[in-house]
Structures are given as structure tokens and as C-alpha cells.
Amino acid sequence: MTQVFKGHAGIGDEVTGEALVASDNFSARYDLDRIKGVFSRPQHKLYGQSYDGKILILNAAKGGVASAWMLQEMVSRGVTPKALILNFANPIMAQGAAFANLAMIDRFDIDITTAIPSGARVTVVPAKGEIRLLD
Amino acid sequence: MRLNDYEQEMLAGEHGAAKKYGMEQVVRVGTFFDAPDTVEVAQVHLMADPESLGSSGVEFLEGLAALPKAERTVVVPAVTDPRGVDLAAYQRLGQTEGMADLERRATAAFRALGFMMTDTCINYQTICPPVLGEHVAFGDTGSSIYANSVQGARTNFEGGPSALAAALTGRAPRYGFHLDAVRRGSCVFEVDFRPKDLSDWGALGAYVGRKMASYWEVPVITGFDDAPTSDELKQFGAALASFGSTPLFHMIGITPEAPTLAAVFDAVVPKAEKIGKLEVDALIQSYMPSDDKLDVVVFAGPQLSLMEMQTLAGLMQDRHIHKDVALIATTSPEIKYACDRMGLTETIEGAGGMVLSGVCFYQMYAREIGEANGWKRLMSNSAKLVNILGGYGYEPVLATMEACVDSAVQGRISEAAQ
């Protein structure tokens, strides 16, 4: 049976893909090599891993304001996560997702980083604020 | 969201494509955060360096800039955050013509939209400081936290697309730190020592920032009887916002909304977590490498005030930077003019340093200029800069301005810094 996790209604279109999960935070400027599409901050739990084409599931938005432009820039170059799922977004991530029309949901009733394992296939339904665990 | 007639007209495109974009962005973000309606903002501060924009972002701006003037022009005073390329210095830094071209195009588009190219992240010190209760849309974490906390103005972090929307419509969604309820304290930190240097103030902000679970937590600081300086609060806030994604702090007896603990907590005041010099020193020490190699010293993040530039010039008077080390200081165009007039630029550059205008190091294609110049080990007195640059391939070290300058002169990390 498909498990469904509920968050706040989000931004963007429905997408399906492989989850990349860590109990760590997220900033496009601080954490990523956006040309190579990998996490580049040595202290990040996903250091060295590719986020391209993944449903990225992390704890909270951190860091500066650059992510608001950078999400759209990542989408335009085609090296981008399919969706960004956070326990807590901040305005910058929401503004960036709205500008880029990147799927994003936050504010779940559980810790979403412990509910979904890395590698699982999930469907993200922003209009309903739902993540469906398919495997 | 409730929109008035004019806002609905903007959303429907009756006032042109630029305002339509702006209202769509306001409504999308406002809906995400359950904003009931909008606030009118008095001024806008927009971050949009070319590295963040990319070519697609610049093309988007050029599309708006090509609209008729009456449709495209901002409706409230709007200023810019640091740019990514100092066109007077980019070749010396190893920045490419492609980077400079993107910068020129973005700047031309912003001018066509009616932005004032202040190119500074210290607009709250140098351009037009907001006042208690004023709704603004500020687009740099450092400028936002200073405006909210020290000046008592009201803003969320307004990233470029939303700050642009605010400039074009005069509106921001009413949620987050525009609301009284969100500005209440969440937790208390009791500081039992007085930081001495700006780097210590930044490290204290970094320590508190690491404790913040999300954007929505408001730390309340106790333990200070005498007011810190503007530059001390600037470094503290910039680091807190960088490490914590935190847009507001209260400092009891110092910041305007927090005369007492009772003023920022509704009922029970949470138990305070104590912070001593030991904890802050340990944070600084965590960045110290095992060897003393040094490539570049940077004073930036935030741009330096006139007072900081004077201190730096004093430390560099009659000295010379080691031939194997670069030293860079960034400031705003207005402060750079002042430094030129007062001889501070001449002193710093005479000692072998570079004074850059209208840029900030981490917004200058930091990865690419590091690779072009062979810079890896970097020293700074800015905790914010040290936090950011780890992700750009640098090995950053946090130390006082004095220790940074001494190290630049010696060509290696000085013993005093270790």
C-alpha cells in the first residue's frame, strides 16, 4: 500500500523520482557545485553526491538569499533536483521555487527526513502537499 | 489572499507585464505562507549578482527592461546589493570577459527598471536606514537582520525575484516578520563575556546561528549592559543570519523592541543557555588548519564601513604584503569615494592590498577566482564569509583583522592567530 505523507500545500507541478535524503540543511550557494550538480560543502552529509534529477529531501533551508535566483538558473541549465522537500522551507526557497516553478513542499506532520529512505521512489504532489512513497 | 482592486488589476495584467509578474510572485509566495493580504513597502534592497542570476536570470531582466518605461519602472525607491564584477579590477582578479559582460547586461537592465545602483550590502549604514515599524523588502540576509533587529523595521528575507516583485508593485505578502506575533522571542542566550574584536562578534553570531532550527526562531540575547557598535552588531547579525537563516534577534536593553525580557515573551521566559568565551573560541579554533600556509586575506561579507576601512589602513600603514599573498578589502562605492578622499585607499593599496568597490567577495564568482589565482587557504575576520566559502573549495580561517594583516605581511598564518 502506498504510504502518503502530508505537508503544507506547496509550489510547482507533480513529479516522480528517486529520493535523495539526509538529516541536514540546504542552501544552493553554500552547499552545491551547481555546474557539476553535486554537493560540494565538505561538512554536508550529502558531500560528493549528485542531486541532478533527484527528489531532494532535507531538513531546513539555511544560508543566504542567492538560492532565490539560483533555483531558476539550475532549472534553466537542466542540472537540478526534480523537487525540493524540506521540513522547514524559508522565504528564500519558496521565492526561488515560485520563480523557477520547481516542485516544493514543507511543514510535514513528521520529520520527513526520517520517514523516507534514500533511494526510494516517490511522487510529489505540491497542490495537495503530499509525498507518496511508491516502493 | 485578499487583494484590493488595484492589486487585482496588476495580477490580471492591466498595468503591464512587469507588474503582472510582480503580483504573481507576491501571490505565489504569500499563498505558500498563508499570508492574508499584502503590506506596502517603503523601500527595496535587491540582491542579484550575475553568478546567482546566470544567463537565464539576466535574460529575464532584459525582457522586463524592454517593456515601455511606464510599465517597467519601479514604484518605490529601490537599491542594489553588491555586484559580482568590479569593472575597474576584474582582469587583475582573473574574472573573465563573459562574467563582465553578464554584469554589464544585468546592470543595464536594472538601470532601465529604475534601480539605483548602490551596489552595497550595508545600505542600512550608508544609504537610507529604515526606522522602527517601517515595512521594507530587503534582499540580503545581513541587511535584513540588521534592519529587523537593530532598526526595528519589518522585512522577510526577500530574495531577488521577490525583491524585484516588491519594487515593481510596492507590495510584499504580509507574513513572517511583518507580523507582531512572529517577532516574539523563541529562546534565550546569556552571554557572560564581552567579545573584543569584530571576528569575536561574528563567531558569537555563528554560535547562536548554529543553534537555530529554522528561519522562524527568534533568539534573544542577554548579558550586555553597554551598547555594541554598529559594526559589532553588523558582524554579529550577518553571521547569525548566515549560519542560522535567521532574520531577527533581540538584544535585551540594546535593540528597540526588547527593553526587557518581558517585552519579547508572552508568558514564561525560557531557561537561558549560557555562552562563554570558551565556546566562541572553540568555534574560531575549529577553522584553524594544522599548517600555516596562506594564499589570500579577505575583508568582506559584509562590505566594510568607513570605520573598518580606517582601522585596516591603520594596520597596513608603512607595511608591505608578502609577495605570495593577496589582500582584498571590499566596500561600497560611497565608502570607496570617501576612502579615496581621505587617503585610506592609497595606504591600503600602497601596502600591496586591493580595495574593491561595489562588490563582495563571495558574490564575485568566488570559486572561479580562487581557481584562477591559486587561492585555497583564505583568512578573514568575517564569520559569514568563512561559513560561505567552505562550499566554494576554500579552506577558510577566522581571525582578527590585526592577525589577518600580520599574516598577510608574514606570508603565513601568524602565531598570534593560531
DSSP string for residues in A17-29: EEEEE-SS-B-HH
Cα separation of the two ends of chain B: 55
Confidence of residue A126 (pLDDT cuts 50, 70, 90): very high
Q: Does B158 touch chain A (CB under 8 A)?
A: yes
Residues of chain B with Cβ-Cβ distance to A44 below 8 Å are 391
A-contacting residues in B 53-72 (Cβ below 8 Å): 53-57, 60
Q: Is B269 exposed, middle or buried (0-12, 13-18, 19+ CB in 10 A)?
A: middle
> Rg for chain A (alpha carbons), in Å?
13
Best of B25, B39, B52 to substitute, by most chain A Cβ atoms within 10 angstroms, is B52
- What residues contact residue A43 under an 8 Å CB cut-off, 6+ apart? B390
Per-residue pLDDT, B417? 80
- What is the average pLDDT value for chain B, to the nearest integer? 96
- Return the SS3 of A86: strand
CA-based nearest residue in chain A for residue B366: A29
Contact, B126 vs B332, CB < 8 A?
Answer: yes
Q: Which domains does chain B have, with CATH numbers?
A: 5-178 (3.30.499), 183-284 (no CATH), 288-410 (3.30.499.10)
Contact, B239 vs B207, CB < 8 A?
Answer: no
> Cα distance from A15 to chain B (closest Cα, Å)?
18
The upper half-sphere exposure of residue B274, i.e. CA atoms within 13 Å in the direction of its Cβ, equals 5
Below-50 pLDDT ranges, chain B: none
CA-based nearest residue in chain A for residue B22: A99
Q: Is B63 exposed, middle or buried (0-12, 13-18, 19+ CB in 10 A)?
A: middle
Taking CB atoms and an 8 Å limit, are A29 and B216 in contact across chains?
no
* pTM for this predicted structure: 0.95
Q: Does A124 touch chain B (CB under 8 A)?
A: no
Residues of chain B with Cβ-Cβ distance to A38 below 8 Å are none
Q: Does A128 touch chain B (CB under 8 A)?
A: no
Q: Does A47 touch chain B (CB under 8 A)?
A: no
CA distance B107 to B94: 20
- What residues contact residue B42 under an 8 Å CB cut-off, 6+ apart? B76, B77, B130, B134, B135, B136
A-contacting residues in B 205-234 (Cβ below 8 Å): 213-216
Taking CB atoms and an 8 Å limit, are A40 and B391 in contact across chains?
yes
C-alpha cell at B92: 587583475
Per-residue pLDDT, B393? 87
Q: Residue A135: is its pLDDT beyond 80? A: no
- What residues contact residue B355 under an 8 Å CB cut-off, 6+ apart? B309, B329, B330, B331, B336, B339, B345, B348, B349
Angle (nearest 5°) at CA A94 between B174 and B125: 65
Eight-class DSSP state of B270: P
CA-based nearest residue in chain B for residue A86: B214
Confidence of residue A64 (pLDDT cuts 50, 70, 90): confident
Per-residue pLDDT, A102? 97
- What is the average pLDDT value for chain A, to the nearest integer? 94
Contact, B244 vs B383, CB < 8 A?
Answer: no
CA-based nearest residue in chain B for residue A98: B28
> Cα distance from A63 to chain B (closest Cα, Å)?
5
Taking CB atoms and an 8 Å limit, are B29 and A62 in contact across chains?
no
Nearest partner of B205 among B174, B167, B244, B166, judged by Cα: B244
CA distance A79 to A35: 7
Per-residue pLDDT, B267? 83
> Which stretch of DSSP H or E encloses residue B403?
helix B401-410
| Residue carrying C-alpha cell 554598529 | B230
A-contacting residues in B 241-300 (Cβ below 8 Å): 241-245
B32, B141, B388 member nearest A11 (Cβ): B32
State the complex-level ipTM.
0.94
Confidence of residue A63 (pLDDT cuts 50, 70, 90): confident
Nearest partner of B238 among B314, B308, B187, judged by Cα: B308
Per-residue pLDDT, B286? 96
- What residues contact residue A91 under an 8 Å CB cut-off, 6+ apart? B29, B33, B156, B157, B158, B159, B162, B176, B215
Strands A130-133 and A3-6: antiparallel
Residue range A93-116: average pLDDT?
A: 96
Q: Does A110 touch chain B (CB under 8 A)?
A: no
Contact, B29 vs B158, CB < 8 A?
Answer: no
Residues of chain B with Cβ-Cβ distance to A63 below 8 Å are 141, 242, 245, 388
- What residues contact residue B4 under an 8 Å CB cut-off, 6+ apart? none
CA-based nearest residue in chain B for residue A66: B52
Strands A130-133 and A121-125: antiparallel
Per-residue pLDDT, B206? 98
Residues of chain A with Cβ-Cβ distance to B139 below 8 Å are 65
Per-residue pLDDT, A2? 85
